[in-house]
Structure 1
Amino acid sequence: MNNTICELVSTTRGQAKINVNGYLLVKDKNRNNSFYWCCEKRGTMYCNGRAVTRLVNGQHHLQKTTDHNHGAEASRLAVIKAVNTVKKRARETSEPPAQIVQTVTASTSREIHPYLPSCNALCQSVKRLRRSELPAEPMKSRGNDSRETGNALARNLATSTIEKEEQRINEDTKDLKIEITDRAAQQLNIITAREKEPSNVLRVTVDSGGCHGFQYLYDLTEADKLQQDDVLFEKNGAKVVVDTTSLELINGAKIDYTEELVGSQFKVTDNPRAATACG
């Protein structure tokens, strides 16, 4: 097992995860060169899958692994890589969003295409990323007094730009709603209390190119890491966050928690936009 090298990948939210036999795990802790990982679905599906790796010359060598309570998602890693490539090109080139998506999709295995987010969702991601990284308009200065005034004006301009973007997002999403069921709220509060992270929120992401139309992804994230285009919903202290693109795809749906023989998990139900879904 020591000869197995595990690949690291950064998710769309910038969190580093490791791929172990088709499962994605997040870092729990490390002691010197030994790294301890837990399944990314530990919070949402009570999965106790774990792994231990040893860092040697910049590579993670697998030392030990335990079983998961769910199947591996071989396509998930490839999808994350493709989305990361889209965002990388968005930052490094001035190509139109549609061209970026077409280029990345063409270089991706056809077997992965059904699991990729839709072209429209990827294009919207490019646009949001570029908007968020727009610098404040530089102000010309003529001496110390005008430079100080220029800096103040630049700050005001940046603040004004952010406020306008927030107003636009609020206007675009004011009629978009989801319902958190009592069962989901209760379970989410139990999970955050158990993890000793009461500020954690459940992030729901929707890919409109899933195996049956929509693919739902669930992940616990820190409240202070929310993005500008995120919309927060709360019930009985439990918080669920959805980005604007995903919210449009689940408008009117419910966030529930189901207990089944194959495993318990959070689930999007009664979605008016989809008859079937996976994830």
Structure 2
Amino acid sequence: MWGKLLSFNTKYIYLTVAVIVTLAVIFKVPLTPNASGPTNSLFDHVESLQEGDGIWFFLDTRPATEAIHKPQMQAFLHHCFSKDIKVIGFNPLVAEASGMGRSIIEEIAIKYDKKEYVDWVYMGFTPAGISVFSAMNRDINEVYTTDVTGKPFAEIPVAQEFRKYSDIGLAITFAGLKTPGYWVQYAQTRYNFPLASGVTGPMIPDQFPFLNADQMVGMMGDILGAAEYEGLLRKNGYQDQGFASSSMFAQTVVHYVLIIVIVLANVATYMVNRQGQRDRKARAAARARLDGGME
């Protein structure tokens, strides 16, 4: 039995994982974890903002992390647009993110009948480098003369309304790089505005010094943080479950499957090895009896 288990064709394991993931995505089976402190704090801060307030988000990442940051941004934007908060997006530090931000905002904005340039805009990249941190304290028009589509700044009402840090209720960096520390060091500590982050898993520990020092008001950590935020939205009557919650279900079930496979494989290896030892001892004893003339 145990030997047959060790010779089990691994393609069936991969097939099982594929079926679980596919069903979870198709049927959107939700699994909502309890929200962590940083996710709760971020949600509560957005909840405290009023209709007509503005937020900035910075897309400080590359397309490789879109599977993490897109669900984070979707949950966050659902919350903002549900409360009629205006949104301005930037990717001032990472040029590769220019193609990501506008489509994600537009996808959510359409559901709430929000108008580009009036309720939201994506400004895109600027070659200003680190000078962007201080320039955005004075006027974003110093480093942005058009949005990502080429629309002149003077023709974008929402950008003219929220021109500097003191005009906004929150800035959040969705980061796959070490840029949250730059925003804290060069912007938040100097100009004292509410800052938060949405980060990948390996970056989560790096955010806690900022959170503990009240330099950040909250954080979404990895796909788990997005699922937590979706859970808070549902709990407060904002939206149906999104992609992150169904992803957590698929991820959790796959983890259980892999754990079971690993445990069974180790037990099978132990049992096969033990049986092998018994067989070797039996053969050795048989040879000894033959050599001693006992048989």
Report the TM-score range of the alignment, normalised by the length of the smaller protein: under 0.3
Q: Which has the higher helix share?
A: 2
TM-score by length of 2: 0.23
Larger relative strand fraction: 1
Higher RCO, 1 vs 2 (CA within 8 Å, ≥6 residues apart): 2
Q: Which has the larger radius of gyration?
A: 2
- TM-score (norm: length of structure 1): 0.24
